[in-house]
Structure 1
Amino acid sequence: MKSHDEIWSEWQELVNMTPAELEKWLDTDRSGSVGDTRGQGESTGHKSGQRIIEIKRTKKADLSDEDWAHMGKVVGYVKRHLAQGGPAKDTEHSDWRYSLMNWGHDPLKS
């Protein structure tokens, strides 16, 4: 199990969208068009994006155990998704990118 310091370091590196950017993204139709809904109306990634916004607006000292667990989940998801590699063409408009953005990472953002 990773320490809070390890999770924090990876979170800072991988979750590269600001709360405002993520909110704007989650309000788009494209955001809602990707991900597993498991029979629900909202995808797992979209729900995660909402939680990420809350976490990013929380001081590190005030993060709960549930926040840290979610941060670890986000880090794991983003790392696995990036390891798959993106599409050979049109990464900008790909479900791969859109899914990552739901989890707070825009692979086109430097």
Structure 2
Amino acid sequence: MATTPIDDALWQDFHDAVNMTSRELREWLATADAGEGTEALPDQAGDDRSRAVLDVLGKRRTDLTDDDVAVMRSVVDEVRAARGEDREPVAGDTRWRHSLMSIGHDPLKPAP
């Protein structure tokens, strides 16, 4: 359990920034890691940070750890830096979109 309080704003900001479901993110990571002649095991697809986002999505608020809170803050900060407050669907270049998708934000999805 987190010793750092998880305030309502962070909880909401994270779930606004991460606009992909855990299933969508898991499938994206498996697709992104699929290569010629090799494919990561489903629970090993993506990098550590991507898997940390998946872990957070699979937890209840009361079960979050301090590490989870740090992941949440960093994801919110990264999405805000990349997108600003205007979250109109934008394709951008492929590398930029895929980078955001690896942390659960699809810039082509409409804002809630």
TM-score (norm 1): 0.71
Question: Could you say if the C-alpha distance between residues 61 and 29 of structure 1 is closer, same or farther in structure 2, counting changes exceeding 3 Å?
Answer: closer
Contact 2:14/2:72 (8 A) holds in 1: yes
Larger radius of gyration: 2
Structure 1 gap ranges (5+):
33-41
Deviation of 1:52 after TM superposition, in Å, equals 0.7
Deviation of 1:93 after TM superposition, in Å, equals 6.2
Contact 1:26/1:102 (8 A) holds in 2: yes
Question: Could you say if the C-alpha distance between residues 8 and 79 of structure 1 is closer, same or farther in structure 2, counting changes exceeding 3 Å?
Answer: same
Match for residue 72 of structure 1? 73
- One-letter amino acid of the counterpart of residue 96, structure 1: W
TM-score (norm 2): 0.70
Match for residue 39 of structure 1? none
| Residue correspondences, number | 93
Higher helix fraction (1 or 2): 1
Contact 2:18/2:104 (8 A) holds in 1: yes
Contact 2:6/2:69 (8 A) holds in 1: no
Deviation of 1:82 after TM superposition, in Å, equals 1.4
Contact 1:31/1:99 (8 A) holds in 2: no
Match for residue 14 of structure 1? 17
- Percent identity between matched residues is 34
**Pairing of 1:1-110 with structure 2 (within 5 A):** 4-29=7-32, 46-83=47-84, 91=91, 94-110=94-110
Question: Could you tell me how far apart the structure 1 residues matched to 2:28 and 2:81 are?
Answer: 21
Structure 2 gap ranges (5+):
36-44
Runs of 4+ in 1 over 6 A off after TM superposition: none
Question: Could you tell me how far apart the structure 1 residues matched to 2:26 and 2:51 are?
Answer: 8
RMSD of aligned residue pairs (Cα, Å): 2.9
Question: Could you say if the C-alpha distance between residues 106 and 56 of structure 1 is closer, same or farther in structure 2, counting changes exceeding 3 Å?
Answer: same
